[in-house]
Amino acid sequence: MGSGPLYSVGAELRLTHRQSPNCGPRRDGATPDIVVIHYTAMTSARDAAETLCNPETEVSAHYLIAENGEVLSLVPEALRAWHAGAGAWGGVTDVNSRSIGIELANSGFTPFAAAQMDALTDLLKGIKARWDIRPERVIGHSDMAPGRKIDPGARFDWRRLALEGLSVWPLPSADAPSSEGPDDARFAAMMAAFGYTASADVDLLLQSLRMRFRPRFDGPLDVRDLAIITDLASRFPVDVNAAVA
């Protein structure tokens, strides 16, 4: 994966660099205020690195983190990597120009290794400090492209990131019983207010919400789904002070 070994010890992260040709300037002078987390859906980090550095694939990311915690820097943070594709988050439709993309080596069917998650949290702390990115703007690929993408998937530990101040999680009060019944229109409106603007399809929105916040739950929209997104939208309205830590 590069020129030498990589180690993540505590909050100190050591990187190996390999330049991907699949990048360019951020459009209209944009700077990153979003982080998008992906999984590679490939058999190994080495194979993923080859794909992300192959000009024929026209895909890349700023960082690739292997299962053992090794971190490969592929595109400088100041440049636009080609990782997000079609989608939106709040008012941002060119997500590539406004984001930093992190790929996690994972097939999509296995838990994320502890060393990999440790390296991710160390990496995120540095990115957030450099760019003043707010926790609510650390999102998954599935958040900005509901129905088109499912990564980082139901096995990704979003709650851990939230506990470390690196993402967000619903308050316990969102689990409290509510007299309000499930309401598709209100649910879609609250999803958009939080950031899910790429689709208005309630089924796709519900799938994305549950993949992140209720990964083992199935069934039709219920009052807890509505309570969760109402809580998140009220505390973290999208694009409000987006670039202010």
The one-letter code for the residue type at 128 is: K
CA–CA separation, 94 vs 84, rounded Å? 9
CA atoms within 13 A on the CB side of 229: 30
CA distance 100 to 118: 18
Tokens of 28: 């209209």
Catalytic residue of the set 50, 67, 70, 103: 103
Residue for token pair 């180690």:
7
Please indicate whether residue 50 is annotated as part of the active site.
Answer: no
Cβ contacts of residue 95 below 8 Å, gap of 6+? Answer: 34, 36, 84, 87, 88, 89, 144
Distance CA 141, CA 178 (A): 31
3-state helix, strand, coil in the chain (%, to 5): 35, 15, 50
DSSP state of 181: P
Instruction: Provide CB contacts within 8 A for 140, sequence distance 6+.
Output: 36, 37, 38, 151, 152, 156, 158, 211, 212
Q: Which positions are catalytic?
A: 103
